[in-house]
Amino acid sequence: MRRAAYVLGLPVVLLAAWFVLSAGSENFYAPPLRQILESFGETWTLDRLGADVVPSLLRLLAGYALAAVLGVAAGVVIGLNRRVRATVEPVLEFFRAIPPPVLVPVIMLFAGIGDGMKVIVIVFGCVWPVLLNTVEGVRAVDGVQLDTARAYGIGGPARLTRVILPAASPQIAAGLRQALSIAIILMVISEMFAASNGLGFTIVQFQRSFAIPEMWSGIILLGLLGFVLSLLFRLVEGRALRWYHGLREAQRRS
Amino acid sequence: MLEVTSLKKVYRSGEREVEALRDLTFTVDNGDLVCLVGPSGCGKTTLLRCIAGLLEPTAGTVRLDGHPVSGPPPGLAMVFQEYGRSLFPWMSVRDNVELPLKQKKLPRERRTALVEETLDAVGLAGTEKAYPWQLSGGMQQRVAIARAVAYEPSTLLMDEPFAAVDAQTRADLEDLVRALWQRLRVTVLFITHDIDEAVYLGRRVVMLSSSPTVVQDEITIDLPAERDQLHTRADPRFTELRTHVYEQIQAAKRGRPSTEAAV
Amino acid sequence: MWRSCSHDPGLSVKQRTGLLGLAGPAGLLVLVEALPRLGLVNDAYLPPASRIAAALGDELGTAQFWQAVGDTLLGWAIGLTIAVTAGVVVGIVIGAVPVLREATASTIEFLRPIPSVALIPLAVLLYGTDLGSTLLLVVYAAFWQVLVQVLYGVADVDPIADETARSFRFGPWARVRHVLWPTALPYVFTGVRLAASVALVLAVTAELVIGAPGLGRSIAVAQSSGAVPLMYALIAVTGLLGVAINLAARVFERRSLAWHQSVRGEVPA
């Protein structure tokens, strides 16, 4: 009961304040919340969700999944080889430092403005944090764990799948979490640049046609999407890394 | 039989060279339980890693049952000092014990039987599904011992396995090692810096000098085979042997110049 | 095996790593030169490295370029300063008062993952293509990085230290000053470092998408006018700026915390 009050208290107060304070708003850019909520229901109908949100999400998932697979695979190869790592690390740091949205114009040159372009943009932006975190995680596998694997004849694929990848998985998860927020940003931006559907496209359309309550409802939808995706990520991560959180907890207590 | 002959290990980093092991020769007969003791920092762990095939010696050889060791030999299992890091925290107790057996391609029934048997033997029946970090330090080291025993090695290497557990747990684990050794007839090489532990456990004790390491002395522990914490440690012979080992270790610490002159 | 490891006496491990590190970027340049020259990639899409370098050389001589760099850095610096100040103040206040910490947790968890680009349409309406648009996005994105790290830092305060301070009847202000702040400081620096990178990304993004003055807009102009080598050159400049900001933030962090007993590991945010 007390917990529920803490979790819900402030959001309710804030929403109520927004609702009340904006109720009589004459400001064109900040319409009353009531109006925004009404337009939310009118704007984001099932048809609209299917036409605009689903394509966005599919691009997001395709790009994110590809980036995750590529990043982990390349990260393992680079992380296990000291020379390769020393050679490519400065280049990787450079690629990571490039603000991902500037890749949109470059990739438009190669891939046009279709779905392929958007997926490639997301892959290109997301792969670096996954890759660099995997390299770091693989490099930092405990020497005693590696010795144990060797002493007990755990080699070949088992060494990779049962020892190295699990040991690096907390770090890999940190990279995947960073990549998720980059993926959402790139999804929106690539659609703002050139698209005929999608969330980013629709919101910009509202803004250009000065459909302000609709634009606000789009911003709220994007916010909800970001929140839900990060919640899903945390749920999956909490399951997959249950051992890691338990271990941390056990270490903290001792 | 484990034969260590003229073993030498020099670490290099850039221009600097550190001689960890100078010239070590000793043997461990099949079915024997030998304890290696030495002052701290005498290169015990380096020696063990060379024997386990995890480290390439600079010179000299290690032979296990006549075959030279040039990588982790199949008939050898190792218990590490750092149980918390040597057990994989992402696997249950069962999976930790079973994984090496899978790598040996043992059939499933055999694996299941071995896991159950060994966990039972170390007093951990019923913890199969727990994660290692849910157990106390002493219990984690028991899991590591179960994993080593389930591997069915002819030789068991133990690297200061009880250095990080409390005194009472330690006594229990010492008795566990004696009991397993007597039951399974494996060869055990047990490294420790604790003189009492070496004398209590071993059938022979090999004393090492401080680094660069050579063999300082060896003695046979002529205590009765049935030992227990109370009576064995109160035995006057135990005290004599302990004093002898203690003196040799002290001499090893002081006598560094003389051993160098002898080589 | 080990005997063959003896290496050239003149080269330490560090120097060799450094040489390999130079080989990487050199290899990248050779690759970018070779791919279009060999016809493997259409040189209208990816011009050879030498042409990109030439475009960069020309650009370095123009006042326009330096104006754009200056605009980007200005937006970055102002936005970062506002975000860091706000993040630290809000973080310490929330962190120091347990009731506030509990009451705001859910709101922060909700607001943080909202993608900053969702604010782009709003920024356009409010500020058009002014610096204000850039600042709105930069401040919003960088603020959370700082706030979350500060909250981690405050949560890391040793309860024993806090109880010690209380048992000596330290007032609330003295506790913040002598217990909370020193514990949180390494996390503040981590937050500033993360925020510095994020702020650059958002500054360039805002310029690119909205058209606020700066490197991002130059990239968009180069793209729409078909000046492909120049576009690549400008993108490389943003990457180098990012690397420079990263390095500078790391050095700053290490220098400032040299006195601290432990330069702490990063908390994955």
Same domain, B163 and B226: yes
**Which value, in Å, is the radius of gyration of the alpha carbons in chain B?**
19
pLDDT tens for residues C133-187?
899 999 999 999 899 889 888 887 777 777 788 788 887 788 888 888 888 888 8
Domain CATH number, residue A86? 1.10.3720.10
User: What per-residue confidence (pLDDT) applies to C5?
Assistant: 39
Residues of chain A positioned with their CB less than 8 A from the CB of C113: 181, 226-227, 229-230
Answer yes or no: is C269 within a domain.
no
The pLDDT-based confidence of C258 (bands split at 50, 70, 90) is low
**C-alpha to C-alpha distances, B166 to A155, A249, B83, B135, B136, nearest whole angstrom:** 34, 21, 14, 14, 11
Number of domains in chain A: 1
Name C80's Cβ contacts closer than 8 Å, sequence gap at least 6: C138, C142, C192, C195, C196, C199
Answer yes or no: is B181 within a domain.
no
Answer yes or no: is A1 within a domain.
no
Same domain, B52 and B106: no
Answer yes or no: is C189 within a domain.
yes
Same domain, B2 and B67: yes
Same domain, B214 and B142: no
Residues of chain B positioned with their CB less than 8 A from the CB of A250: 133-134
Q: Please answer whether residues B140 and B127 qualify as being in contact, where contact means their C-beta atoms are separated by less than 8 angstroms.
A: no
Same domain, B69 and B89: no
DSSP state of A49: I
User: B-contacting residues of C 110-169, CB under 8 Å?
Assistant: none
Answer yes or no: is B110 within a domain.
yes
- φ and ψ at C254, to 5 degrees? -65, -45
Residues of chain A positioned with their CB less than 8 A from the CB of B76: 151
pLDDT tens for residues C22-49?
888 888 899 888 888 888 888 888 889 8
User: What per-residue confidence (pLDDT) applies to C260?
Assistant: 60
Number of domains in chain C: 1
Partner A contacted by C259 (CB < 8 A)? no
Number of domains in chain B: 2
Report angle CA C228, C234, C235 to the nearest 5 degrees. Answer: 90
pLDDT tens for residues C107-128?
888 888 788 888 888 888 888 8
Nearest-Cα residue of chain B relative to residue C3: B58
Domain CATH number, residue B198? 3.40.50.300
Domain coverage including residue C153: 54-256
The pLDDT-based confidence of A109 (bands split at 50, 70, 90) is confident
Q: How many CB pairs under 8 A join A and C?
A: 159
Question: Is C118's CB within 8 Å of A207's CB?
Answer: no
3-state secondary structure of A166: helix
Q: Residue B14 is nearest to which of C1, C2, C12, comparing CB atoms?
A: C12
The chains in contact with chain C, meaning 3 or more Cβ pairs closer than 8 Å, are: A, B
Same domain, B228 and B241: yes
Residues of chain A positioned with their CB less than 8 A from the CB of C110: 11, 227
Domain coverage including residue B90: 83-152
Same domain, B71 and B2: yes
Q: Please answer whether residues A130 and A72 qualify as being in contact, where contact means their C-beta atoms are separated by less than 8 angstroms.
A: yes
Q: Residue C1 is nearest to which of B12, B14, B56, comparing CB atoms?
A: B56
Nearest-Cα residue of chain A relative to residue B74: A153
Domain coverage including residue A126: 31-253
pLDDT tens for residues A68-87?
999 999 999 999 988 888 88
Q: What is the mean pLDDT of chain C?
A: 84
Best A98, A104, A222, A230 residue to mutate vs chain C (most C CBs within 10 Å): A98
User: What per-residue confidence (pLDDT) applies to C259?
Assistant: 61
User: What per-residue confidence (pLDDT) applies to C267?
Assistant: 43
Same domain, B161 and B35: yes
pLDDT tens for residues A118-161?
899 999 989 999 999 999 999 989 989 999 999 998 988 999 99
Q: How far apart are CA B95 and CA B88, in angstroms?
A: 9
Q: Please answer whether residues A158 and B103 qualify as being in contact, where contact means their C-beta atoms are separated by less than 8 angstroms.
A: yes
User: What per-residue confidence (pLDDT) applies to C269?
Assistant: 38
The pLDDT-based confidence of C103 (bands split at 50, 70, 90) is confident
Answer yes or no: is B112 within a domain.
yes
Q: How many helices (H) and strands (E) does chain C have?
A: 11, 0
Answer yes or no: is B180 within a domain.
no
Domain CATH number, residue C68? 1.10.3720.10
Answer yes or no: is A121 within a domain.
yes
Q: How far is B201 from chain A (nearest CA, A)?
A: 24
User: N- to C-terminal Cα distance for chain C?
Assistant: 44
Other C-beta atoms closer than 10 Å to the C-beta of B26 total 18
Residue B258 scores a pLDDT above 80: no
User: What per-residue confidence (pLDDT) applies to C87?
Assistant: 94
Partner A contacted by C121 (CB < 8 A)? yes
Answer yes or no: is C4 within a domain.
no
Q: How far is C12 from chain B (nearest CA, A)?
A: 6
**Mean pLDDT for the stretch of residues A10-39:** 83
Q: Please answer whether residues B143 and B100 qualify as being in contact, where contact means their C-beta atoms are separated by less than 8 angstroms.
A: no
User: B-contacting residues of C 7-26, CB under 8 Å?
Assistant: 12-13
